[in-house]
């Protein structure tokens, strides 16, 4: 039960992706690791235009289908 609650706290319920705070923590660790060990990482950022408006006006199910 503890593992499940921990996962729910650190991940988005709909997508299963890391939450914003968890993502920032992981990104910080990767950047420190890259600097210390001369590693390279890539970040792909997607901004889904007007996604919040769809969720707010039509509900999360509509946003999922969009």
> Distance between terminal CA atoms of the chain?
33
Q: Specify the DSSP element, H or E, that contains 16.
A: none
Alpha carbons 9 and 51: distance in angstroms, whole number: 22
Mean of the per-residue pLDDT values for the chain? 82
pLDDT for 8-36, tens place per residue?
888 888 788 888 888 899 889 989 999 99
CB 63 within 8 A of CB 55: yes
Enter the pTM of the model: 0.53
């Amino acid at each position: 039960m503890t593992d499940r609650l921990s996962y729910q706290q650190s991940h988005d319920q709909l997508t299963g992706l890391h939450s914003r705070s968890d993502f920032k923590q992981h990104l910080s660790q990767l950047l420190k690791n890259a600097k210390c060990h001369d590693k390279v990482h890539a970040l792909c950022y997607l901004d889904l235009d007007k996604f919040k408006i769809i969720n707010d006006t039509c509900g999360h199910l509509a946003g999922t289908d969009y």
